[in-house]
Amino acid sequence: GAGVSQSPSNKVTEKGKDVELRCDPISGHTALYWYRQSLGQGLEFLIYFQGNSAPDKSGLPSDRFSAERTGGSVSTLTIQRTQQEDSAVYLCASSLTPGAHEQYFGPGTRLTVT
Amino acid sequence: LAKTTQPISMDSYEGQEVNITCSHNNIATNDYITWYQQFPSQGPRFIIQGYKTKVTNEVASLFIPADRKSSTLSLPRVSLSDTAVYYCLVLNNTDKLIFGTGTRLQVFP
């Protein structure tokens, strides 16, 4: 079946602009996760959704970052007033049940802030 | 969460067996040892998970000694396509994956 998909695959934006990153999880997966991978920081957790609610937002680096999930499916990660340090690959993952150790990752969105 | 330590990089040749060892000295009773693989420009992929002794699947084997303070991921007869970063994670009933720096495996012809 279809895996996790993310769009866009690449995004170049100017500093100060807002961006929206989209994630389509595997159908039927109740848990959805956002991670960020950058050269300096490795792969870091951002936020986790169980259904449409986000019990764990502990990884969001600042209040410029927000995310929502609707219909227990698609999720959008929004970064407001982007900064150069936001440049990274943003990865989305989903799992069948919350707390499952096997998470399925999408290909990521490469964000470049100029 | 238990901290893991693994080699930064390893080199191998096609056809050889590769063993990547991970140390997790403060692993807790309810922790599981999980390995992910990440190819360039892709998201990580779950490879294998175990609690104790030995686990084997079509991709790899995972060896865990009785004290569980370390584990070894074994890749039999590697090919060029096994060139990737391999992450060792120690997980309990957690909702997020905590990745370390991983081991960058380079397979040469």
Query: CB contact, 8 Å: A40 with chain B?
Result: no
Asked if B101 lies within 8 A of A35 by C-beta distance, the reply is: no
pLDDT at B30 over 60: yes
pLDDT number for residue A4: 97
Q: How far apart are CA B62 and CA B68, in angstroms?
A: 12
Closest Cα in chain A to B94: A99
Query: CB contact, 8 Å: A105 with chain B?
Result: yes
Residue numbers in A near B100 (CB within 8 A): 42
Mean pLDDT of B81-105: 89
Residues with Cβ within 8 Å of B19's Cβ and at least 6 positions away in sequence, in order, are B72, B73, B74, B75
pLDDT at B2 over 70: no
Average pLDDT along chain A, 114 residues, taken 10 residues at a time: 91 98 96 90 88 89 95 95 97 90 94 97
With pLDDT > 70 as the criterion, what percentage of chain A qualifies? 97
With pLDDT > 70 as the criterion, what percentage of chain B qualifies? 97
Q: Tens digits of per-residue pLDDT, B50-78?
A: 999 999 999 999 999 999 999 999 999 99
pLDDT number for residue B97: 86
- Give the closest of A56, A106, A107 to B96, CB-based: A56
pLDDT number for residue A7: 97
pLDDT number for residue B56: 96
- Beta strand pairing status for B103-108 and B9-13? parallel
Name which of A52, A30, A41, A12 is nearest A103 in CA terms.
A30
Query: CB contact, 8 Å: A57 with chain B?
Result: no
Q: How far apart are CA A2 and CA A83, in angstroms?
A: 33
Q: How far apart are CA B108 and CA B80, in angstroms?
A: 6
pLDDT at B1 over 70: no
Mean pLDDT taken over chain B: 93
> Is A18:A80 a contact under the CB 8 Å cutoff?
yes
pLDDT number for residue B43: 94
Asked if A42 lies within 8 A of B101 by C-beta distance, the reply is: yes
Residue numbers in A near B90 (CB within 8 A): none
Asked if A107 lies within 8 A of B98 by C-beta distance, the reply is: no
Residues with Cβ within 8 Å of B67's Cβ and at least 6 positions away in sequence, in order, are none
pLDDT number for residue A42: 79
